[in-house]
Chain A
Amino acid sequence: MDSFLTYTVLGLVSGAGYAVAAGGLVVTYATSRIFNIGHGAVGMVMAFLFWELSAGRGLPAWAAVALVVLVVAPLCGALAERTVLRDLGEAPSDVALVVTVALMVALLGLAQTLWPPKPRPVSPFFEGHGFHLGSAFVGAHDLLTVAAGLLVAAGLSVLLRFTRTGAAMRATVHDPGLLALFGGRPAWTTSLSWAIGASLAALSGILLTPVVQLDYYGLTLLVISAYSAAMLGRLTSLPMTYLGALALGLLQSYTVGYLPTSGAFTGLRPAIPALFLFAVLVFLRSPQARLGRLRGAAGVAVASSRRAAPWAAVFVVAAAVAAAALPAEQALVVALGVVYGIVMLSMVLLNGYGGQVSLAQLTFAGVGAVVAARWASGSVLSLVAAAVVAAAVGALVALPALRLHGLYLALATLAFGQLMDKVVFQADFAFGYNGALDVRRLTVLGVRFGTEKAYLVLSAVVFALVGAGLLALRRGPYGRLVLALRDSETACATLGLNARLARVVLFAASAGIAGLAGALMGGLRQSVSASDFMVFNSLPLLLLAVACGVTSVTGAALGGAALAWLPKLQAQFPAAGGLLFLVVGVAAVALRSEPNGIAGWVFRFGRETVAARWTRLSGGPSPDAEPVDVGPVEAVGHAPR
């Protein structure tokens, strides 16, 4: 009974902390239709800033809190809204998602650059003060947190329900132009809501720091709890959000207290927020997709097989030349880039063609790596098995998530990745607790691929095959169905197309490709561990895929190369450190004007040069009248209203 009280207090306190963060999420979503994945990262950076000011610069705690929560955070929130997030609510949901993921990665990079890892002890406010409730000790900090949670929930409710500013905030998401005609200031209103959101993120980060300590990922992931609470309130209801946050806090606290500390449940405890989020997403009816709305996106020309084949051959030959010319350790990096490229091909299918965002693509690669290590290691069968099992897992994720769209689906994959990180990958049948697996290199038809160089050629061949397969798929009926589903699910339904099956197949195929890449990565590195496939590593992957061009095979190749080279660059110039990820984040944000990424620019450049040469040679306009050469199609969804 005594411990029950203690756990209850603990749960209520962390629940109140989640409630503050979730309130900020709801406010920004209600006013801009952007779900800020980077919300927790904002809180994390602000908590570090608070530490810097109070512990590092000797400012009194109250002054530091006031400065961070009331001045710096709101300014940063408003600035982010003005510079990168404006009008994103109107963009296709995957673009908005990727931009906020970029924000998150950039903030993580920023924090690691400004505050390099070292222990930073944080003590609660008014340490030692408090009172005893039965046998449980309630610290002043705990009281403060609970009070803040209540105040924020009440304050936000009053703001949104009973004030003109609040009404304007909710109105602007529907039609900012109309609000201007009413005499309001929509731009100012949206900035205000982001300022409030950032401020609340900062407050929750600071309040929760004594619970989780100053940790880049711990604080950033705390928002998974905030996400689930906000989802419970369907991103609109503040009271439900508040209750959800408290319930989650209690649930977590009780599991820590009462689940056995050994056996199968060990890994379950840190995964509670993710489980909760997954359950909330799947069991609550997700809001209807906006009907009757076309979401066109500019695609790139799809190369015919006649055009793609020479390029595939060039790619493989180039890989072979590189393998012959480069020393082994360089070949390893290049091969890794090609393998990452294959993972990005899986994103081309899922995101580029299907318009769905997965935040856990590396997790599927991890599944593939485990299978390849555990079963028929060293034979081609292991590759096949890895792809098949990963595809099955992908289908399993897609099944409960079938009812989810865009944002909800992406969050479900995030929760899934988190779950795999904490529970499945740590289990004995996978990598084992903090363990690593040895993977043997392949022998195909008696030819042993025993070196990095051989693996480089092998990966290049696989990349070329998968890429060609994707292009063929894209040109075929299934490709058309996937694209049609992306543009308008309603229209597809009226045509009697089976959206569910198509979606599951899409997810499974994409996961399968990622699994294949995971198996190759295992063989290439010979030893893989769970940390290679952490869900956080999926995020830079997603960003680079989008920045380099997630709609084309070329983009995947570029992205893979970039992802392999970035850590090398980072190792050579440690000062640049997280700054590189900052750059990637900014690039992804900047490239939202060109949905086809760097590859899009390359294609355009290529087209223009070729056209110019034709004009020069033949003295007339280019006779190149191939139908593949249509320029980017104007986005239907962006037409002026």
Chain B
Amino acid sequence: MSAVLELTGVRAGYGRIEVLHGVDLDVPEGSLTALLGPNGAGKSTLLKTVAGLVRATSGHVHLSGVHVNGAAPGALARAGLVTVPEGRAVFPNLTVEENLRLMTYGGRREAAVRETAFGRFPRLAERRRSLAGSLSGGEQQMLALTRALVADPVVLLVDELSMGLAPMVVAELYDVLAGLADDGVTVLAVEQFAATVLAVADHAAVLVHGRIAAAGPPRRIGADLAELYLGGAA
């Protein structure tokens, strides 16, 4: 299995504050890789760097072998990188249908987008004319994930899918991600809520203080997690 997403020695941060101090990470093709780590480890910054929202100050980001440092987020999105950022990645002031309409930048027709969305998440069909801001947290996250379903992504980045959601909903959403990975999509999921994601992940990596502290099969990582978080690996 070759790595679709490859980070070598990536340093990035905000202004003078460096958050990532040289991250090396390979995400194999068609896998669901969990990126774990304590608060402030730099997980979200790592995703933002890959997505083009934060620019790496040094090191390299390769997507399918292409060097993408400094590429604009929109260009990356149109090239097949789907990012579902932290929080609810929907537009609360637009209706569900209008949110779906904005998912057609990937090239799918609006009718096809709706069909996929409503087929996979029937609850969205019931609320198609509601403002996305008025949906429940779970429904909003479903709407956000719809983009990953319809965009036909090469790589999917998901940040904190579980935030503020009931465990049952989280499990359902991770099943969707696992299904995508089975279809050949490369998924990198940042998560704090380790148990659920490790149950479905193919690989796992732990980010501590801006560096990858460990990477390997989910079971082994799960066992070492406490030690890694508390700084045993440092």
Interface residues of A (CB under 8 A from B): 164, 167-168, 170-171, 173-175, 177-186, 640
Stretch at the interface among B88-96, B115-123, B190-198, B223-231: B88-96
Point out the residues of chain B lying under 8 angstroms from A186, CB to CB: 74
A182 pairs with B93, CB closer than 8 A:
no
From the candidates A173, A177, A179, A640, name the one contacting B102 in the complex (CB within 8 A).
A179
Grouping DSSP codes into helix (H, G, I), strand (E, B) and loop, the B interface class, with mixed when no group exceeds half, is: helix
Residues of B1-46 whose CB lies within 8 A of A? 14
Flag if A175 contacts B91 (CB, 8 Å). Answer: yes
Specify the chain A residue showing the minimal Cβ separation from B17.
A640
A177-B53, A177-B73 known; A182 and B102 CB under 8 Å? yes
**Which B-chain residue is minimally distant from A236 (CB atoms)?**
B93
Known: A170-B94, A174-B93, A640-B14. A181 touches B102 (CB 8 A): no
Contacts of A168 in B (CB 8 A): 102
- In the complex, chain B residues 97-145 whose Cβ is within 8 Å of any chain A Cβ: 98-99, 101-106, 110
CA distance A239 to B187 in the complex (A): 45
B213 located at the interface, meaning its Cβ lies under 8 Å from any Cβ of chain A in the complex: no
Closest residue to B84 on the A side, CB-wise? A181
What CA separation (Å) do A175 and B89 show in the bound complex?
A: 9
Q: Is A171 in contact with B85, judged by CB distance below 8 angstroms?
A: no
B82 proximity list for chain A (CB < 8 A): 181
**A182 lies within 8 A of B147 (CB):** yes
CA of A180 to CA of B52 in the docked complex: distance in angstroms? 10
In the complex, besides A170-B94, A180-B72, 14 extra interface pairs with C-beta distance below 8 angstroms are: A164-B101, A164-B105, A174-B92, A179-B102, A180-B53, A181-B74, A181-B83, A181-B89, A182-B77, A182-B102, A183-B77, A184-B105, A185-B74, A640-B14
Closest to A185 in B: B74
**Given A164-B104, A182-B103 in contact, is the A170-B14 Cβ separation under 8 Å?**
no
B220 cross-chain contacts in A, Cβ below 8 A? none
Contacts of A185 in B (CB 8 A): 74
Q: Does B78 contact A (CB under 8 A)?
A: yes
B170 contacts partner chain A, Cβ-Cβ < 8 Å? no
* A167 & B74 in contact (Cβ 8 Å cutoff): no
CB-CB under 8 A from A182, the residues of chain B are 77, 102-103, 105, 147
Query: In the complex, A180 Cα to B72 Cα: how many Å?
Result: 8
Instruction: List the A residue with the shortest CB-CB distance to B104.
Output: A164
**A173 to B93 CA separation, bound complex (whole angstroms):** 9
> What would be 9 A-B contacts, judged by CB atoms less than 8 Å apart?
A164-B110, A168-B102, A171-B94, A175-B91, A179-B102, A181-B85, A183-B78, A183-B151, A184-B105
Once the chains bind, are A178 and B94 in contact (CB under 8 Å)? no
Given contacts A164-B102, A171-B91, are A178 and B77 in contact (CB under 8 A)?
Answer: no
Least CB distance, B71 to chain A, in whole angstroms:
11
Task: State the B residues within 8 Å of A (CB).
Answer: 14, 51, 53, 72-74, 77-78, 82-83, 85, 89, 91-94, 98-99, 101-106, 110, 147, 151
On chain B, the residues within 8 Å of A177 by CB distance are: 53, 73, 85
Does A184 contact B74, Cβ atoms closer than 8 Å?
A: yes
- Set of chain B residues within 8 Å of A173, measured between Cβ atoms: 93
**B-chain residues with CB within 8 Å of residue A179 when the two chains form the complex:** 91, 102
B53 to chain A, nearest CB (A): 6
Cβ–Cβ < 8 Å partners of A178 in chain B:
85, 89, 91
Shortest C-beta distance, B163 to chain A (Å), equals 15
CA of A185 to CA of B89, assembled, Å: 17
In the complex, which residues of chain A have a beta carbon less than 8 angstroms from the beta carbon of B73? 177, 180-181
Contacts of A175 in B (CB 8 A): 91
B78 to A170, Cβ gap below 8 A? no
B14 engages A183 (CB within 8 Å): no
How many angstroms from the CA of A8 to the CA of B93 in the assembled complex? 38
When chains A and B are docked, how far (Å) is the Cα of A66 from the Cα of B32?
Answer: 55
State the CA gap A345–B73 with chains docked (Å).
Answer: 46
Are A170 and B103 within 8 A (Cβ)?
no
Whole-angstrom CA separation of A170 from B132 in the bound complex: 13
The chain A residue sitting closest to B97, CB to CB, is A167
Provided the pairs A177-B53, A177-B73 are in contact, do residues A184 and B102 lie with their beta carbons within 8 angstroms? yes
Nearest to A182 among chain B residues (CB) is: B102
Which partner residue on chain B sits nearest A184 by CB separation?
Answer: B105
Please name the residue on chain A nearest to B74 by beta carbon.
A180
B103: A residues at CB distance < 8 A: 182
CB of A175, distance to nearest CB on chain B (Å): 7
A171 pairs with B102, CB closer than 8 A? yes
> In the complex, what's the smallest C-beta–C-beta distance from A146 to chain B, in angstroms?
31
B189 to chain A, nearest CB (A): 16
Closest to A166 in B: B98
CA distance A395 to B99 in the complex (A): 45
User: In the complex, what's the smallest C-beta–C-beta distance from A167 to chain B, in angstroms?
Assistant: 4
Contact A167 B101 (CB under 8 A): yes
Chain B hits for A167, CB < 8 A: 94, 98-99, 101-102
| Neighbouring B residues of A184 by C-beta, 8 Å | 74, 102, 105
CB-CB under 8 A from B72, the residues of chain A are: 180
In Å, the complex CA distance between A184 and B98 comes to 14
In whole angstroms, what is the CA distance A170 to B99 when docked?
11
Chain B contacts for A181, CB-based, 8 A? 51, 53, 73-74, 77, 82-83, 85, 89
Separation in Å of the B187 CB from the closest CB of chain A?
16
Q: How far is the CA of A600 from the CA of B166 in the complex (A)?
A: 51
By CB atoms of chain B within 10 A, which of A177, A178, A185 has the most?
Answer: A178
